[in-house]
Structure 1
């Protein structure tokens, strides 16, 4: 009887020790460095507020693009589209509007000083090429902007973007046309983010920083701007230009020909004003060669660069001495 009582007693002690050890493992909780904490009375896990946190990708983007804002939240706001709702920051619309105007100003200034004889309608086309949605979205994709900007893809965003591009037009046909034209929604958002970054630089760091950004990243792009000169009547325009300049009317002269009676003839035409040769053009017939010669003469005149042109300084643009020839008002082709 005594041995049986001892066995039961020992067995109870063992069970009690096992139970105590088990309770110890249950009650002990390790410390965690995550962003969650345990609420025992409610028996659930609650997440801390993670809104508007500067991600490592955004820090890397700022360092790569040399964007040294006074507050990192300025850049975060610049890459936040109005469609993104999980934020306490304002969207980048204010930055975008200012940046759009600043980009257009600096690009217009650059090409107006580089090609002072170019008439205004083609100057506007060149500015639109460098300031267009396609160019800015391509640039944004190249610098990895799509990985750091915050936006929400939706149908309403797509339609509203098309309406904004039409300057407030609500015509249904225009909206549908622009919706087909802008094939990628993220491209439109990236273009707006580029404009917002320039606007943020203008407000936070001053106009010189915004100008430098446009010069370094947008004006340095190699685009064939002479392709925008799609003049329809070059002979008429060249005659009007010579008349405005007080010079002799242009005359076409055959300089070279080969294979007139073959399937592939070649003609070279020269355009002269008195004894001065303005340009040359070639073609498979005389009419084509004369058309190209007159167009080349116009290109040589309007896209003539001033000899001592240099890139406008971001510090002393207005104080720098340059050979600047302003364009006359309404100096446009005859057409």
Structure 2
């Protein structure tokens, strides 16, 4: 996959390569990884071209490298614990933190209307572009180059975790049981949206607290969102 969408200042591109720790043999790969599909509205030659395919690849490369790393780092942990660690390390929040750490937002090319109200690059776009950059690193330098970047920028996140992250539904259940209360009750309140993009609304109830409602793209996602909200309420001292 090679491309050279819209010219980019080579000095600017070189400064990003310095942050990534890799000189691209095909700079077009990096440029494409920084290009949002909204640029098609700026240049019609960009229609159908953007970072999505590289994002798709980068997501898989990141997952592979982190999974391999966790297997080596925690040889005695069962699959469930490794899976929770993996989920925490590859989620959008982690990608956003890395994108911000390397100042990726200054290099992403997108139409003005795609910025947030403050003029900054939206967090979701930052996270997606970070995955795309990983995909570009993999294509240009192979797995060793992508792995080196991931290890440098994910080591602080790996080291910060004292143990496998706990699923929020499990955490809420254990909180209730520890206090002699009934198990959390989840109720599906409704489903909206088209079949390809459904939105489920779920309510969770725990004795001693007002019910909390949240939504998600699946029942499980909505339940987890509701549990997370209720746990935050509990941790503020209202338990």
Q: Determine if the TM-score, normalized by the shorter chain, exceeds 0.5.
A: yes
Query: In the alignment, which residue of structure 1 is the partner of 2:39?
Result: 84
Query: In the alignment, which residue of structure 1 is the partner of 2:131?
Result: 195
Deviation of 1:204 (Å):
1.7
Query: In the alignment, which residue of structure 1 is the partner of 2:83?
Result: 124
Query: In the alignment, which residue of structure 1 is the partner of 2:7?
Result: 53
Within 5 Å, give how 1:210-221 maps onto structure 2.
Answer: 210-221=146-157
Deviation of 1:84 (Å):
2.1
Deviation of 1:137 (Å):
0.6
Deviation of 1:227 (Å):
6.0
User: In structure 2, what is the Cα distance between the partners aligned to 1:81 and 1:122?
Assistant: 35
Asked if structure 2 preserves the Cα contact closer than 8 Å seen for 1:84 and 1:150, the reply is yes
Q: 1:228 aligns with which of 149, 165, 169?
A: 165
1:73 is the counterpart of 2:10? no
User: In structure 1, what is the Cα distance between the partners aligned to 2:36 and 2:22?
Assistant: 19
User: In structure 1, what is the Cα distance between the partners aligned to 2:165 and 2:75?
Assistant: 17
1:115 is the counterpart of 2:74? yes
Deviation of 1:100 (Å):
0.4
User: In structure 2, what is the Cα distance between the partners aligned to 1:207 and 1:76?
Assistant: 19
Deviations 1:247-270 (A, max 9, x none): xxxxxxxxxxxxxxxxxxxxxxxx
Question: Structure 1: which 5+ runs fail to align?
Answer: 1-50, 159-183, 234-335
1:205 is the counterpart of 2:205? no
User: In structure 2, what is the Cα distance between the partners aligned to 1:225 and 1:197?
Assistant: 29
1:63 is the counterpart of 2:22? no
Give the structure with the higher percent helix: 2
Within 5 Å, give how 1:281-296 maps onto structure 2.
Answer: none
Deviations 1:138-166 (A, max 9, x none): 111121100011123658x99xxxxxxxx
User: In structure 2, what is the Cα distance between the partners aligned to 1:191 and 1:128?
Assistant: 15
Query: In the alignment, which residue of structure 2 is the partner of 1:101?
Result: 60
Query: In the alignment, which residue of structure 2 is the partner of 1:146?
Result: 105
